[in-house]
Structure 1
Amino acid sequence: MSLYLEIANDIEKNIIEKKYQGRIPEQVILAQKYNTSRVTIVHALKVLQSKKLIKTVKGHGTYITSKAIPDIFLNSGASENDGFTSHINGAGFIKSHVVSFNIRKPTDEEKRALNLPPDEKVYDIIRQRILNNQPAKLEYTVMPVNRIPGLTIDILHKSIYAYIQDTLGLKIGKDDRVITAEKSDAYDMKYLDCAKDDPILCVHQKAYLSDGTPFEISESRNRYDRGALTVNNSKSFL
């Protein structure tokens, strides 16, 4: 792995572990810490900018954005320990952990993908799936609030798709998926117990209602050695 990628992963890990809060150290300090040039640090920071983890404000420094995993939930009094539910399926004993659940403004890319009007907000959901007491999958989900109203932590503990169909009375249609193989990043190391260069099976999905309206974009990151992936027209669990 290139040095700048190793540095980017280490900075990302420090962000997730709250070692850096608000902003990250100046480039010259990072160059000294990693015993490298500022050019290498610039390349590393560009990697984190492409992930929307940081943003640089000219003349003021480099700040951490909202993608650094938050620990604040929408329902008052909730904590990470409140985010576990469990059930059994053919793969084994599965626990679901709601890592974070927030409402925010969408990015320009999300607006285009979901055909959103200017002022619409989205749910930003991160869930961890644990198979037989071992972390197996990390899911990032974005959904428009106005199209899927009323989501709560309690619903995330159960099934979003069941809520959409049974409670909202909406019919789920097709989905588009792109499957790629990637190396683990700092989120995978923290929530999937991955080593730095472990392979990850990454599934990018865009889901539609039966009338063709997009209602979800998601990314699931699967450990290579735990569980199996079934690809069909319904939402896969493990």
Structure 2
Amino acid sequence: MSKYQDVANYIEGDIIKKKYHCRLPEQVNLAQKYKTSRVTIVHALKILKRKKLIKTVKGHGTYVVSKPIPNFFLNSGVSENIGFTKHYKKAGKLKSNVITFKLRKANDEECKVLNLNNDDQVYDIIRQRILNNQPTKLEYTIMPVKVIPGINLSVLHKSVYSYIENTLGLKIGKNDRIISAEKADAYDMKYLDCTKDDPVLCVQQKAYLQDGRVFEFSRARNRYDRGAMYSSSN
């Protein structure tokens, strides 16, 4: 793989994780961030343009062809569990494709939402959920390592919630959620096989253990025509 492609992959990963909500930094700043030359950045951006993930507006800069993840509305008053994995395993063959998985320090917003200290680490996870060989759901998830230790790729390819309850012996409590509908963005088109005008069901979530600790800060994007959402009250 060429250096241009490597840098393009790094930038694409940061776009997917919504580190760039609208406009990309200037090329010289991108070169500094990714520790490469401006020439390499130019070629990397050409790769992303061919994939229709970014566009350049002459005289104005380079923009992400997607919508940003909106901020969480805390204390939404919604309190329910959605058993995606358990329910859909009954409906057919379910598997997870891990797009990205890494440990990093929590940012200021995550510290506030997850009640963390500045030096605390989080899992930064993006998963594609596939039902009967069809992509159905795209999940962006942040979890605190000190609350949910031991997550690895093996866990992510199965059920994180099952791991929490059956392996760690923790009890999952209520969730604060906001459910809304949006049109598909570039990553829905890439990972959910959506077309430009397809509706996507968006679920923003702040999830708690029964002891009151927050263990998840996430956003899921669901195809409108594959499966259904299953919910049950606490």
State the TM-score bracket (shorter-chain normalisation): 0.5 to 0.7
Report the secondary structure of 2:93's partner residue.
Answer: strand
Aligned to 1:230: 230
Q: Which amino acid aligns with 1:91?
A: A
Mapped contact 1:174–1:233 kept (Cα < 8 A): no
Report the secondary structure of 1:90's partner residue.
Answer: helix
Deviations 1:80-122 (A, max 9, x none): xxxxxxx973332222212221101122111111010111010
Q: Which amino acid aligns with 2:131?
A: L
Cα 1:37–1:230 change in 2 (3 A) is same
For residues 183 and 128 of structure 2, the distance between their equivalents in structure 1, rounded to whole angstroms, comes to: 18
Deviations 1:24-58 (A, max 9, x none): 65xxx99xx9685434x47x46x879669xxxxxx
- Match for residue 16 of structure 1 among 12, 15, 23: 12
Q: CA deviation at 1:151?
A: 0.9
Percent of pairs with identical residues: 56
Mapped contact 2:138–2:191 kept (Cα < 8 A): yes
Aligned to 2:136: 136
For residues 163 and 13 of structure 2, the distance between their equivalents in structure 1, rounded to whole angstroms, comes to: 33
Most deviating of 88-97 and 144-153: 88-97
For residues 105 and 117 of structure 2, the distance between their equivalents in structure 1, rounded to whole angstroms, comes to: 11
Cα 1:148–1:94 change in 2 (3 A) is same
Aligned to 1:188: 188
Mapped contact 1:185–1:196 kept (Cα < 8 A): yes
The TM-score, its normalising length taken from structure 1, stands at 0.64
Q: How does 1:79-158 map to 2 (within 5 A)?
A: 89-158=89-158
Cα 1:113–1:133 change in 2 (3 A) is same
For residues 143 and 172 of structure 1, the distance between their equivalents in structure 2, rounded to whole angstroms, comes to: 14
Cα 1:13–1:152 change in 2 (3 A) is closer
Q: Which amino acid aligns with 1:208?
A: Y
Mapped contact 1:100–1:127 kept (Cα < 8 A): yes
Cα 1:137–1:170 change in 2 (3 A) is same
Cα 1:161–1:35 change in 2 (3 A) is closer
Indicate whether 1:204 and 2:204 are aligned. Answer: yes
Report the secondary structure of 1:89's partner residue.
Answer: helix
For residues 152 and 56 of structure 2, the distance between their equivalents in structure 1, rounded to whole angstroms, comes to: 46
Indicate whether 1:38 and 2:59 are aligned. Answer: yes
For residues 178 and 88 of structure 1, the distance between their equivalents in structure 2, rounded to whole angstroms, comes to: 21
Q: How does 1:40-55 map to 2 (within 5 A)?
A: 41=61, 44=63
Alignment length (residue pairs): 181
Aligned to 1:55: none
Mapped contact 1:175–1:233 kept (Cα < 8 A): no
For residues 120 and 179 of structure 2, the distance between their equivalents in structure 1, rounded to whole angstroms, comes to: 29
Aligned to 2:218: 218
Aligned to 1:169: 169
Deviations 1:180-235 (A, max 9, x none): 1112122111111112222111101110011211110111100111111123358x
Cα 1:181–1:110 change in 2 (3 A) is same
